[in-house]
Amino acid sequence: MNIFIYHKFGTKNHTRYADVDKIGRSRGQVICDSLHAFTGCDCVSSFVSKDKLTVLKLLKTHSSNQALKQLCQCWQGSDGMLEKLEQFTCVMYTDSNSNSATVGNSVTVY
């Protein structure tokens, strides 16, 4: 039996569907599991106004892939991993390669 899983996102007037299986195959299971661990629930992101597809697209261009993979594979994070995840969180909200020192108080994670 073939089962297809889609994730609905967007607004009332602009709804789209993402093929979850296709994303998993193209990005790899480890990065998808790591993204889930970092952002939280399947359908509601832990980060205000940032949906999972936006974050996944950002991962294509950012160097945090390795840090996210480490997050899913170990119980204790290294300082380097935590710094990379912090930088990635800042980039999610600033759309730049700023780090936490330059972003300062403009980022609030709930």
Is residue 68 in some structural domain? yes
Q: Quick one: tokens of 11?
A: 């607004």
In the chain, what percentage of residues exceed pLDDT 90? 0
Residue 8, H or E segment: strand 6-10
Residue 31 contacts residue 69 (beta carbons within 8 Å): yes
Domain range for 11: 6-106
The residues that bridge with 10 in the sheet, in sequence order, are 15
pLDDT of residue 109: 47
| Dihedral angle over CA of 2, 23, 38, 65, nearest 10 | 140
Is residue 1 in some structural domain? no
3-class SS of residue 68: helix
Q: Quick one: tokens of 21?
A: 């299986």
pLDDT of residue 10: 77
Is residue 49 in some structural domain? yes
pLDDT of residue 95: 57
Is residue 19 in some structural domain? yes
Instruction: Compute the distance between CA of residue 62 and CA of residue 15 in angstroms, rounded to an integer.
Output: 26
Is residue 93 in some structural domain? yes
Mean pLDDT over the full length of the chain: 72
Report pLDDT digits (tens) over 57-86.
777 777 777 777 777 676 676 777 778 888
pLDDT of residue 108: 46
10-residue stretch averages of pLDDT, the chain, 110 residues long: 78 84 80 74 63 74 73 70 82 62 46
Number of domains in the chain: 1
